[in-house]
């Protein structure tokens, strides 16, 4: 199968769950009475900030890296990432004992670069836009003969991300709504495919910053919009949908809700305060959209993917100041 | 039995576990490979920051409040607290439907006062020293005819706090060392009694800020030292041992380790960074002492009670600045 066009099945996601089980964390699902009261619905938070490397990205990376044949794996893995996927691929490759190269935009946060470096991967810096990322990635692939593990437009990665939803629905059966942040769409695709594989009636929503609303606009326009420059504090949500994730989201996602920067930071702070969890701004976008659109969630049983917790604590005062 | 002199048995702690089960959270136990590597031992963190009201205190408060006869409960409950115990008693009384009054030192943090107020308790402010707390408490007791639930020198409270250790040892059997912060000694007493009730060979240690080292000095002197004014950022650790907790700790605790303010804040930040958990400074003292005394923990399997997560996020920049 071609991983850039294959649409993962529920069987693929179950296989991914078995493949990653020796390496990944079974993350807890936490609740908060005060957040439920604030939102007017039941919120079940899947804590992927407590996943290894501090983000759901580890699931997809491990599934992809351990899906390679020994022959494929031997020449190493190449990827592009604004951070968490890069760290996840770096660690997955270290666990398999193969080399990793990560193409990283030069404005990626220090904390995420440090993680990639710590896991022993080679870092290749590039410009911020998608075309520059793709060009640098192609060059490294040509040099090394390695295998590409795209951060989201890859069936193995999508299946891996879907395992978080398998666990969530196992822990909290009967959820009627799931919501996850959307950037390139790997997490949201995996979430939707896992959910609808189990129960076709579950409503799946995406959450996106206003300043990076390409997924929202792409679904509204019925075609993939590319080439914009994202403007958001959510450093994990600056990518664009890929052809595969666009097709999956079109079929499986009811809507993509938007939130502004101050709303996102306020929601992040609420999670810190009420759930006592450190999450990064990207992970707060779903809660921000829930609080902004209470009529769409009232009385619902909602699963929320807290996608990651890699935030630079030195940058906190500046972040909090954005919440006004 | 007189709760101020009775030494809880393992049966008392099991009874407490059954009594609080309908109300308290079964909190997760989390680990971090990077913290294990840093400490040179296995660390199993019992996440009482994820307990209701954000602290282990809810366990003891619920056990005490639900131990009262209907007749006793009718006149309400009175307590004194620098914060978390007050909020815990306030919520426990609300759950039982009886009135609560909390005597609070005037320098208690805003976030903790707000919680007590939100749970519907009456707040009576007093001076910071223990004598002033006791006098104000006695006055409220005389006025209301209510029952005192002391924050630590109370067998029902100690038994409740011990339930966290029951859960921890059930989740992670074979731990050879337990460490908890010590202030009035309720948590550490409950920890020690539960641990030694299950396995007499478990080593139990306390952790205390240098600026509030009365428990350390009391055990060293063989008599309870009182009347000092604590000087520490750990607002949960400014109380002194009571007669009951002093007796229990003398018999069950091997040592009390000390950490300075900068070490405590650095440890707090490590937990935020690596475990992605919001903990308050008081909860970071055990990790600070572990990192300061690696030779005492090398190769051990250590249970660490993360006591609470109620920190004022607005105060973070000032807190972090103390870590230097």
Q: Are B137 and B187 in the same domain?
A: no
Of the three residues B126, B148, B170, the one that is the final residue of a domain is: B148
pLDDT in tens, A238-297: 889 999 999 999 999 999 999 999 999 999 999 999 999 999 999 999 999 999 999 999
Classify residue B93: in a domain, yes or no.
Answer: yes
Q: Are A257 and A230 in the same domain?
A: yes
Q: Are A64 and A21 in the same domain?
A: no
User: What is the Cα–Cα distance from A279 to A233, expressed in whole angstroms?
Assistant: 13
Burial of B289 from C-beta contacts in 10 A (0-12 / 13-18 / 19+) = buried
Classify residue B310: in a domain, yes or no.
Answer: yes
Tell me the Cα Rg of chain A.
18
B77: domain CATH number is 3.40.50.1100
Q: Are B76 and B215 in the same domain?
A: no
Q: Which residues of A touch B54 (CB under 8 A)?
A: 276
**The pLDDT of residue A322:** 79
Sign of CA dihedral B114, B119, B122, B123: negative
User: What is the Cα–Cα distance from B66 to B55, expressed in whole angstroms?
Assistant: 18
Q: Indicate the DSSP class of residue A240.
A: -
Run means of pLDDT, 10 residues per run, chain A, 324 residues: 94 98 97 97 98 97 98 95 89 97 87 87 90 92 95 97 98 97 97 98 98 98 93 91 97 98 97 97 98 98 97 86 74
Joined tokens for residue A233: 């504090």
CB contact under 8 A, B50 and A276: yes
Nearest-CB residue to A316 (from B33, B52, B316): B316
Whole-complex ipTM? 0.93
**The pLDDT of residue B103:** 94
**B316 in contact with chain A, both atoms CB, cutoff 8 A:** yes
Instruction: Look at the block and give the residue holding tokens 């009385």.
Output: A299
Q: Which residues of B touch A277 (CB under 8 A)?
A: 276-278
User: What is the Cα–Cα distance from A80 to A62, expressed in whole angstroms?
Assistant: 15
Sign of CA dihedral A65, A168, A114, B49: negative
Mean pLDDT of all residues in B44-61: 97
Q: Are A179 and A130 in the same domain?
A: no
CB contact under 8 A, B278 and A277: yes
CA nearest B308 in A: which residue?
A276
Classify residue B156: in a domain, yes or no.
Answer: no
> In chain B, pLDDT over 70 holds for what percent of residues?
99
Classify residue A5: in a domain, yes or no.
Answer: no
Classify residue B154: in a domain, yes or no.
Answer: no
Q: Are A167 and A42 in the same domain?
A: yes
User: What is the Cα–Cα distance from A83 to A107, expressed in whole angstroms?
Assistant: 10
**The pLDDT of residue A83:** 82
Domain of residue A23, residue span: 10-55+154-322
Q: Pick left, alpha or beta for residue B174 (phi over 0 → left; psi -120 to 50 → alpha; otherwise beta).
A: left
pLDDT in tens, A36-68: 999 999 999 999 999 999 999 999 999 999 999
**A272 in contact with chain B, both atoms CB, cutoff 8 A:** yes
**The pLDDT of residue A82:** 67
Nearest-CB residue to A276 (from B273, B309, B314): B309
Tell which A residues from 18 to 37 touch B, by Cβ distance under 8 Å.
28, 30, 33
Classify residue B136: in a domain, yes or no.
Answer: yes
Joined tokens for residue A10: 């529920």
pLDDT at B323 over 80: no
Pairing, β A147-148 against β A77-80: parallel
Q: Are B142 and B167 in the same domain?
A: no
**The pLDDT of residue A42:** 98
CA nearest A53 in B: which residue?
B274
Mean pLDDT of all residues in B14-23: 98
pLDDT at B45 over 80: yes
Classify residue B297: in a domain, yes or no.
Answer: yes
Q: Are A95 and A233 in the same domain?
A: no
Q: Are B105 and B222 in the same domain?
A: no
Tell me the shortest Cα–Cα distance from B252 to chain A, in angstroms: 31
**The pLDDT of residue B82:** 67
Q: Which residues of B touch A309 (CB under 8 A)?
A: 276
CA nearest A308 in B: which residue?
B276
**The pLDDT of residue A232:** 94
Neighbouring CB atoms inside 10 A of A221's CB total 9
User: What is the Cα–Cα distance from B109 to B129, expressed in whole angstroms?
Assistant: 16
Residue A320 dihedral angles phi and psi, to the nearest 5°: -60, -35
C-alpha B194: how far from chain center: 15
Q: Are A63 and A98 in the same domain?
A: yes
Contact by Cβ (8 Å): A241, A186: no
Q: Euclidean distance between the first and final Cα of chain A, in Å?
A: 49
**B320 in contact with chain A, both atoms CB, cutoff 8 A:** yes
Q: Are A292 and A199 in the same domain?
A: yes
Q: Are A33 and A137 in the same domain?
A: no
Sign of CA dihedral A242, A244, A247, A249: negative
Mean pLDDT of all residues in B66-89: 93
Q: Which residues of A touch B321 (CB under 8 A)?
A: none
Number of domains in chain B: 2
- Residue B179 bridge partners (DSSP): B205, B304
Of the three residues A109, A132, A148, the one that is the final residue of a domain is: A148
Of the three residues A95, A126, A148, the one that is the final residue of a domain is: A148
Confidence of residue B258 (pLDDT cuts 50, 70, 90): very high
């Amino acid at each position: 199968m071609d991983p850039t066009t294959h649409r993962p099945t529920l069987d693929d996601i179950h296989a991914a769950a078995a493949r990653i089980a020796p390496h990944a964390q079974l993350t807890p699902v936490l609740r908060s009475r005060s957040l439920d009261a604030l939102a007017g619905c039941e919120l079940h938070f899947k804590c992927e900030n407590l996943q290894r490397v501090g983000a759901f990205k580890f699931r997809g990376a491990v599934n992809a890296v351990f899906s390679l044949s020994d022959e494929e794996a031997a020449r190493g893995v190449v990827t592009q990432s604004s951070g968490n996927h890069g760290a996840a691929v770096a660690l997955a490759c270290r666990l398999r004992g193969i080399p990793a190269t990560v193409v990283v935009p030069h404005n990626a946060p220090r904390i995420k670069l440090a993680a990639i470096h710590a896991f022993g991967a080679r870092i290749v810096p590039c410009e911020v836009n998608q075309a520059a990322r793709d060009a640098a990635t192609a060059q490294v692939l040509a040099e090394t003969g390695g295998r590409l593990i795209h951060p989201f437009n890859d069936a193995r990665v999508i299946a891996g991300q879907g395992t978080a939803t398998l666990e969530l629905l196992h822990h909290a059966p009967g959820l009627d709504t799931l919501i996850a942040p959307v950037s390139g769409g790997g997490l949201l695709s995996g979430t939707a495919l896992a959910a609808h594989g189990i129960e076709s009636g579950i409503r799946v929503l995406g959450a996106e910053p206003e300043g990076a609303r390409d997924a929202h606009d792409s679904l509204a326009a019925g075609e993939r919009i590319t080439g914009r420059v994202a403007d958001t504090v959510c450093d994990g949500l600056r990518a664009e949908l890929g052809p595969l994730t666009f097709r999956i989201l079109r079929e499986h996602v009811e809507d993509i809700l938007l939130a502004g920067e101050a709303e996102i930071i306020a929601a992040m702070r609420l999670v810190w305060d009420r759930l006592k969890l450190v999450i990064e701004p990207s992970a707060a976008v779903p809660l921000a959209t829930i609080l902004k659109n209470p009529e769409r969630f009232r009385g619902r049983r909602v699963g929320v993917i807290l996608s990651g917790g890699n935030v630079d604590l030195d940058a906190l005062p500046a972040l909090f100041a954005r919440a006004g």
